[in-house]
Amino acid sequence: MTMTNVPSGKRRRVKVPDVMEILGPIYGPVDRTPRYNAAQELVYTILSQHTSDVNSTRAYDSLMAMFESLDSIAAASPSAIEDAIRQGGLAAQKSVRIKTILNQVKAEVGSYDLSFLAEMPLDEAKAWLKRLPGVGPKTAAIILCFALGMPAMPVDTHVHRVSVRLGLIGRKVSADKAHDILEAKVPPDDVLPFHMYLIWHGRQVCKAQRPRCGECALAWGCPARAGFEKAAGRTKTGAGRPSQRKTKKEASNG
């Protein structure tokens, strides 16, 4: 089959099992090894807000190189933390948030060990995290999914965009509301790979600008495809552009 033809026996609309079945072999297995423990992931995720992965990683590495432990970060002044994370963007805001959260966690838990969240029902674990300043649905889901292996669905800009285009969620569904909707549709064991597949697909194929529908393995069942191809056709033919012919008045003026 070509990339855009309907696979034999497939529905004409993409469903969650199609994403797993078709994108899985393309992007390969997903590494489930936690990159950080839950408290470290919390700090990293705050640093990742409104910036790139490259900048947030540099800021996190700089922070840990300067302070070496979460205890030292919690005891530091906001200005010292700000200096360490400056390259991650919004340093003044994030420095205060990180210090406040770490001190709140230590006061409530007695340590920075958040592994107890994995023993809680998912909704309760989310609610516990969202009590912390600056922690919304996406940040909570990242911590639970990546650090603790829980079936919480993080929805970033790529996951949201691709899900809307594929019709997995409604066009008017916000990213915050998409967390629960997608979570309910995806089997628990598939949550992390589903999340990663849509991120990779959004970065490489289903781009925000000029999506590569002709290269998309899911284009056969994508309701957004026709609109993008129609727009691309207008661009190629020049349809919809201002006329290049001069009016009589313009011609008489040279």
For the chain, what is the domain count?
2
- On whether residue 226 sits in a domain, the answer given is yes
Q: Tell me: do 28 and 42 sit in the same domain.
A: no
CATH code for the domain of 22: 1.10.1670.10
Q: Is 101 in the same domain as 115?
A: yes
Quick one: 23 and 48 in the same domain? no
Same domain, 111 and 158: no
pLDDT on residue 31? 93
Residues 121 and 84 in one domain: yes
Predicted confidence at residue 229, as pLDDT, reads 82
Residue range(s) defining the domain that contains residue 173 = 1-32+152-236
**One domain for residues 140 and 45:** yes
- Domain termination site, one of 147, 177, 198: 147
pLDDT at position 8 is 57
Q: Mean pLDDT across the stretch 152-173?
A: 96
Q: Is residue 217 part of a domain?
A: yes
Q: Please tell me whether residues 42 and 143 are part of one structural domain.
A: yes
What is the pLDDT averaged over residues 208-219?
94
Q: Is residue 254 part of a domain?
A: no
For the chain, the three-class secondary structure string (H helix, E strand, C coil) is CCCCCCCCCCCCCCCHHHHHHHHHHHHCCCCCCCCCCHHHHHHHHHHHCCCCHHHHHHHHHHHHHHHCCHHHHHHCCHHHHHHHHHHHCCHHHHHHHHHHHHHHHHHHHCCCCCHHHHHCCHHHHHHHHHCCCCCCHHHHHHHHHHHCCCCCCCCCHHHHHHHHHHCCCCCCCCHHHHHHHHHHHCCHHHHHHHHHHHHHHHHHCCCCCCCCHHHCCCHHHCCCHHHHHHHHHHHHHCCCCCCCCCCHHHHHCC
| pLDDT band at residue 86 using 50, 70 and 90 as cut-offs | confident
Share of the chain above pLDDT 90, in %: 76
Residue 200 has pLDDT above 60, yes or no: yes
